[in-house]
Structure 1
Amino acid sequence: MYDAEKRKLLSALSHGAIFLSTTFISIGLPIFVLFVSNDPVVKENAKEAINFHFNVWFYGAIIGVLVWLSFGLLVPLAFLGFLLHWGLTIWALFHVLTDAEKPFRYPFIFRLI
C-alpha cells in the first residue's frame, strides 16, 4: 500500500503551495509532486491544486480589473476573493491531513487538468 504520512505531506505541500501564489514558483511545487509521486491520491491532490492555482489567478485578474475600473469602489470584492482563496486552501489542508484516503475537490472551480 502507500505510506499515509508521505501521502499527507505531499498532498499538503501541493495544496499549501497556494500560500505562495504571489510567485509563479508556487505552481511548480504541485507540478513537481504530480510528476514524482506514484500515489494516485497524491496525484489527484496535485492536479486539483494546479487547477486551483489557475482559478485563483483567473478570478484575481477579473477582480483586479473590476477594482481598477470602479476606481477602487470594489475593494471589498477583492477582500472577499482573498478570504475565499485562503479559506478554501485551509479547508483543503484540513481535509488532506485528516482524511488522507480521498483527494480533496475544491467546489465551484473549473478544471483544466
Structure 2
Amino acid sequence: MNDTSLSGKRRLLSALCHGSIFFSALLVSIGIPIAILFVSDDSVIRENAKEALNFHLNIWFYGAIYAVLTAILIGYLLLPLVPIFILLTWILPIIAIVKVIGDPDKAFRYPFIFRVL
C-alpha cells in the first residue's frame, strides 16, 4: 500500500473513532471504535480507537457520578459545571478530529482522562 493511501486510511478511521461520540445511539457510538480496534492492524489507528474508547468510558463514568450526586442532592451544587462538562464532551472530540486529520502519523491523547485500555 502506498503512503498516501495509508495516510488517507489513517485519517479516515482515526477521525471516525473520535467522531463516533457524536452518534446518539449508545451501541453505535462505542461500537465504531471497538470494531475499528479489532479490524485494523495499524498501530496509530488502534491507539486512536483505544483513546476514543477511554474518552467514552470517562464521559459515562463522570455522568454516572454526577447522577448519583444529584440523587443525593449534592449534585445540584455542581450544576454550574454542567455547561463546562457538555462543552468539553463536544470540543475535545472536535480537537481530536482536527489533530488526527492534520497529522495522521500521531495518535491523539485526550487530556485529563483515566486510561483503562
When normalised by structure 2's length, the TM-score is: 0.86
Where do 1:35-74 residues align within 5 Å?
35-68=38-71, 69-70=73-74, 72-74=76-78
Q: Structure 1 residue 23: deviation in Å?
A: 1.8
Deviations 1:34-68 (A, max 9, x none): 11111110000000001111001001112233344
Deviations 1:6-44 (A, max 9, x none): 110000000000112552321100000011111110000
Deviating more after overlay: 64-73 vs 102-111: 64-73
Question: Equivalent residue for 1:78?
Answer: 82
C-alpha RMSD over aligned residues: 1.8
Q: Would the aligned equivalents of 1:16 and 1:89 in 2 still touch at CA under 8 Å?
A: yes
Unaligned runs of 5+ in 1: none
Distance across 2 between alignment mates of 1:100 and 1:12: 9
Q: Would the aligned equivalents of 2:15 and 2:100 in 1 still touch at CA under 8 Å?
A: yes
Larger radius of gyration: 2
When normalised by structure 1's length, the TM-score is: 0.89
Q: How many residues align?
A: 113
Which ranges of 4 or more aligned residues in structure 1 deviate by more than 2 Å? Answer: 63-68, 70-76
